[in-house]
Structure 1
Amino acid sequence: MNAIYPSLQGRTVFVSGGSTGIGATFVEQFHAQGAKVGFVDRNADAADELLAKIAAGPNAAKAPVPLFTPCDVTDIASLRAAVARTRESFGAISVLINNAANDQRHRVEDVTPEFWDRCMNVNLRHQFFAAQAVVDDMVALGGGSIVNLGSISWMIKGQGYPAYATTKAAIHGLTRSLAKDLGKRNIRVNTLVPGWVMTERQLRNWVTPEAEKEIDANQCLPGRLQSEHIAAMALFLAADDSRMCTAQSFVVDGGWS
């Protein structure tokens, strides 16, 4: 069971990439804290399943039903519109979780300029523009929290995704620069850095017996990372309990990095 954060109750939270995987757990966990959650994703079917699960679950009455807006985060106009729709429905946005990403594997030899640009747009560019879109809300509220999702991929010199690893490394620079620019307005910006999380996508595509051995060899802790472990840190970073934490990287990887 996660800790209960009274400061999250009634706050408006915006999550990108919220239909599946870690993002879906963010939506569930923030809703369970009593927060009003808006989220975007391209997968509308998965969003419907998630909303049905929340509506039928034990925390259904704790907050309004989360608001889903179909959106490709590479379309900045659509992303801004989704932020505005969440604001109109639930009030000024207090917490931004920049989660949307795609870790498609690729070889150095196969990367084209078009693929490179798409990777930057999917994994990095939208984080800045989502942050930009919520600054005025947070200033009006007297402060807020922005959580950018990173990855240990570049820290451990992971193979098979050089463009993706580049974007995830760049997020740390984005976090630290935004933290300095926005800090005097009481807006905190941190990077949440997951290790290898056992989402359905990872299990389906890449968690082979050989990968299991790699995890066992590199994590300090036994067991497997789950989305709930990442969400637990996101809740802390969004709540007032972390009020003096900013410009930092919070790694949840079982000790791998």
Structure 2
Amino acid sequence: MTSFAQYPSLNDCPVIISGGASGIGASLVRNFAAQGAKVGFVDIAEEQGNALAADLVAAGQQAKFQRCDVTDTAAYQAAIGHFAQAHGDALVLVNNAAHDQRHDWADVTPAYWDDRMAVNLKHAFFAIQAVAPGMIKAGRGSIINTGSISWMIMSPRIPVYETAKAATHGLTRAMARELGKSGIRVNSLVPGWIMTERQLTHWLDATGERLIEDSQALAGRVYPDDVSRMALFLAAEDSAMISAQQFLVDGGWANS
């Protein structure tokens, strides 16, 4: 028996998640599906996405995957439309897709800037644009924009990523005002250094371990499911009067 919360309002709720094939995204997909939600998710990792959807369907849960590059706005909005046909209009959107590619500020070109903004920010706005009419019609909905503590703690070698993630909370605040009178909540979910496979493989070393020990208020490591459990709360009707806020899941690292 799990010790974590079950949210009745998420049962049969249509949910859309971007970047759902691995890492935090895959955890989000699994956790929403376990709540009984009807999950539609996109990713460029086709093999992983198909495998995850197949696992969930085999377990009797509701999940559909479509390969999609979220930087192709027309294709992404079309995918959102296909999920709506299958599951009904989304009542939850989790703008999770992102990529923290390292870069030197001196080498950034206008083309690289535009590409990184498309990967880390632009798609979130156009996903909101696609789901908002259905939420307005329903008179309710929850939009969750995934941020990052990186700009708060001034992480090195990702200035364009940090700019996009700082702007994400600006998007949250703006759209919370635009959509709030229609019963739609918009919040930012801000992970710390999450122990995904990618982070463990590429970035976590002895120096990183010491940095976590010195920086987090809490002992231990923060995992994708820790982020997902906050997303579930923000998606559920339990958070019905919470909007325009940012919620850090970082072990007590950043000063928000």
**2:31 maps to 1:34:** no
Counterpart residue number, 2:144:
147
Distance 2:91 2:57 in 1: 23
Tell me the TM-score normalised to structure 1 length.
0.96
Give the paired residue count.
252
**2:5 maps to 1:8:** no
Structure 1 counterpart of 2:126, from 95, 111, 129: 129
Structure 1 counterpart of 2:86, from 79, 86, 89: 89
Distance 1:120 1:129 in 2: 13
Counterpart residue number, 2:47:
45
Map 1:73-84 → 2, pairs under 5 A: 73-84=70-81
Q: How far apart are 1:108 and its partner, in Å? A: 1.2
Counterpart residue number, 1:54:
56
Counterpart residue number, 1:225:
222
Cα deviations by residue, 1:219-255 (Å, 9 ceiling, x for unpaired): 0001111000000000000000000000000000000
Counterpart residue number, 2:99:
102
Distance 2:130 2:57 in 1: 29
Structure 2 counterpart of 1:196, from 193, 197, 216: 193
Give, as a single letter, the amino acid of the residue that structure 2 aligns with 1:92: D
Counterpart residue number, 1:25:
27
Counterpart residue number, 1:247:
244
Distance 1:84 1:236 in 2: 25
Q: How far apart are 1:54 and its partner, in Å? A: 2.3
Task: Name structure 1 gaps, 5 residues minimum.
Answer: none
Give, as a single letter, the amino acid of the residue that structure 2 aligns with 1:187: I
Distance 1:174 1:53 in 2: 34
Cα deviations by residue, 1:38-66 (Å, 9 ceiling, x for unpaired): 0000000111221233245xxx22x42x1
SS in 1 for 2:29: helix
Cα deviations by residue, 1:97-146 (Å, 9 ceiling, x for unpaired): 00000000111122111111101000000000000100111012121000
**2:246 maps to 1:256:** no
**2:180 maps to 1:178:** no
SS in 2 for 1:222: coil
Moved over 3 A (4+): none
Give, as a single letter, the amino acid of the residue that structure 2 aligns with 1:250: F
SS in 1 for 2:252: coil
Distance 1:256 1:116 in 2: 28
Give, as a single letter, the amino acid of the residue that structure 2 aligns with 1:235: L
**2:69 maps to 1:72:** yes
**2:215 maps to 1:205:** no
Q: How far apart are 1:156 and its partner, in Å? A: 0.4
Give, as a single letter, the amino acid of the residue that structure 2 aligns with 1:243: A
SS in 1 for 2:153: coil
Distance 2:82 2:166 in 1: 31
SS in 1 for 2:21: coil
Give, as a single letter, the amino acid of the residue that structure 2 aligns with 1:147: I
Give, as a single letter, the amino acid of the residue that structure 2 aligns with 1:84: G
Counterpart residue number, 1:158:
155
Percent identity reads: 53
SS in 1 for 2:152: coil
Task: Name structure 2 gaps, 5 residues minimum.
Answer: none
Distance 2:57 2:67 in 1: 19
Give, as a single letter, the amino acid of the residue that structure 2 aligns with 1:69: Q
Tell me the TM-score normalised to structure 2 length.
0.97
